[in-house]
C-alpha cells in the first residue's frame, strides 16, 4: 500500500505542478474543469448513487457547469480593472456561506442529519456547492494580474497549497504525538484538536514568508495572518465534511482512481474548502 501511494504521488505531483505552471490560462481552466468533473463522479458515489450512468451524469453536469462559465466569462474578463467578475464574486460569497452551513452540520452531526442524509438530491446539491466554487476559486486566483505577471496567480495557488500541505503534515505529527482530544469523533475519529492546532502552527511560517514575499504593509500583516489561519482551519473543515458524507454513504474512500490513495476527493477534500474561502477573503480584503 505504501509503495503504491509513493508511486502514485511521484507520478501525479509533477503533472499537477506542470499544469499549474505551464498551461495557458484557457487550458488551465479546462484542466481544472475536468478535475472537478472527476470529483463530481465521486461525489455522486458519496451521495448514495450506485449506478455508474447516474454517477457519470452528475460528473458531466459538473463539468458542463465549469465549461459554461468558461464560455460566458472569457479569460480576459475574469478580472477587469482590478475587480473580479461579479458572477464569480457571487459564487465565492455563496461558497463562504455554504462552508459556514457545513460547519454547523458537522458540529450537530448526527443530529438533524435526517433532513439531508436520506436525500440523494440534497447531497448532490452539496457537491455542486463544493465543486463549482472550487473551480471558480482556483481559476480566479490563477488569472489575477495575469496580463502583468503570468506567474503571480501561480504563486497564489502555491501559497494555498503550501499552507494546507504544511497544516496536514503538522497536524499528522502533532496529532500522533500529542493528540488527546477528539475534534469530531462522530465524523472522523482520527482528527484531534491538538492536531488542528499543530497544523495551524506549522503553516504560520509559510504565512509569514508569504507576507515578506508580497511585501505586505506592516500594518496589514495581521490580516494576512488571520486569513491564512482561517484558510488552514477551513481546510480541516473540508476534510471533516467529506468524512461525514462518506460515513453516511457507508464507504471508506470516495473512489478508487488513485492507487494507494483512494479517490480524487480523498486527496483534495481540504482544498475544496481552502481555495474558495481563501479566494473570497483575497477578493474582499487583499486584492
Residues contacting residue 199 through CB under 8 Å, at least 6 positions apart: 166, 167, 168, 169, 170, 171, 174, 232, 236
Q: How far apart are CA 134 and CA 5, in angstroms?
A: 25
Helix 152-178 to helix 264-281 angle, to the nearest 10 degrees? 120
pLDDT digits (tens, 9 = 90+) for 20-60: 999 999 999 999 999 999 999 999 999 999 999 999 999 99
Place of cell 474558495: 276
Query: Is residue 149 packed enough to be buried (19+ CB in 10 Å), middle (13-18) or exposed (0-12)?
Result: exposed
Q: Confirm if 159 and 206 have CB atoms less than 8 A apart.
A: yes
Q: How far apart are CA 142 and CA 162, in angstroms?
A: 15
Residue 255: its pLDDT value, please? 85
CA distances from 136 to 64, 104, 139, 250, 272 (A): 13, 24, 5, 30, 11
In what helix (H) or strand (E) does residue 174 lie, and over which residues does it extend?
helix 152-178
Residue 171: its pLDDT value, please? 81
Residue 219: its pLDDT value, please? 77
Collapsing DSSP states into helix, strand and coil, what is residue 63?
helix
Residue 169: its pLDDT value, please? 85
Residue 118 φ then ψ, to 5°: -95, 10
Alpha helices in 23-151 (DSSP H): 25-46, 52-72, 86-108, 114-117, 120-143
Give every residue of the chain whose pLDDT is below 70, as ranges.
Answer: 1-9, 259-261
Residue 205: its pLDDT value, please? 78
The residues that bridge with 262 in the sheet, in sequence order, are: 258
In what helix (H) or strand (E) does residue 188 lie, and over which residues does it extend?
strand 188-192
CA distances from 170 to 116, 176, 177, 181, 230 (A): 33, 10, 11, 16, 16
Q: What is the mean pLDDT of the chain?
A: 89
Question: 235, 220, 229, 214: which is closest to 153 by C-alpha?
Answer: 214
pLDDT digits (tens, 9 = 90+) for 197-215: 888 888 887 887 777 777 7
DSSP code at position 258? B
Residue 2: its pLDDT value, please? 47
Domain residue ranges of the chain, discontinuous segments joined by +: 2-286
Question: 124, 146, 148, 160: which is closest to 274 by C-alpha?
Answer: 160
Residue 73: its pLDDT value, please? 95
Task: Give the helix, strand, coil percentages of the chain, each rounded to 5.
Answer: 75, 5, 20
Amino acid at each position: 500500500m505504501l509503495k503504491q501511494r509513493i508511486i502514485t504521488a511521484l507520478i501525479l505531483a509533477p503533472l499537477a505542478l506542470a499544469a499549474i505552471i505551464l498551461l495557458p490560462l484557457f487550458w488551465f481552466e479546462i484542466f481544472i474543469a475536468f478535475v472537478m468533473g472527476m470529483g463530481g463522479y465521486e461525489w455522486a458515489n458519496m451521495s448514495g448513487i450506485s449506478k455508474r450512468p447516474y454517477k457519470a451524469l452528475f460528473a458531466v453536469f459538473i463539468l458542463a457547469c465549469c465549461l459554461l462559465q468558461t464560455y460566458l466569462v472569457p479569460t480576459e474578463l475574469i478580472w477587469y480593472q482590478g475587480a473580479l467578475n461579479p458572477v464569480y464574486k457571487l459564487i465565492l460569497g455563496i461558497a463562504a456561506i455554504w462552508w459556514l452551513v457545513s460547519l454547523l452540520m458537522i458540529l450537530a452531526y448526527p443530529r438533524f442529519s435526517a433532513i439531508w442524509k436520506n436525500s440523494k438530491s440534497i447531497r448532490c446539491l452539496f457537491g455542486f456547492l463544493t465543486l463549482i466554487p472550487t473551480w471558480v476559486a482556483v481559476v480566479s486566483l490563477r488569472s489575477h494580474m495575469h496580463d502583468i505577471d503570468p506567474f503571480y496567480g501561480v504563486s497564489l495557488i502555491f501559497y494555498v497549497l503550501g499552507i494546507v500541505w504544511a497544516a496536514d503534515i503538522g497536524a499528522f505529527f502533532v496529532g500522533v504525538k500529542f493528540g488527546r482530544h477528539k475534534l469530531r469523533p462522530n465524523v472522523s475519529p482520527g482528527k484531534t484538536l491538538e492536531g488542528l492546532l499543530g497544523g495551524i502552527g506549522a503553516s504560520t511560517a509559510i504565512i509569514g514568508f508569504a507576507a515578506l514575499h508580497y511585501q505586505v504593509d506592516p500594518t496589514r500583516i495581521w490580516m494576512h495572518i488571520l486569513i491564512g489561519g482561517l484558510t488552514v482551519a477551513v481546510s480541516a473543515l473540508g476534510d471533516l465534511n467529506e468524512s461525514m458524507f462518506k460515513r453516511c454513504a457507508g464507504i471508506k474512500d470516495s473512489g478508487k482512481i488513485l492507487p494507494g490513495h483512494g479517490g480524487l476527493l480523498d486527496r483534495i477534500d481540504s482544498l475544496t474548502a481552502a481555495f474558495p474561502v481563501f479566494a473570497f477573503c483575497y477578493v474582499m480584503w487583499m486584492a
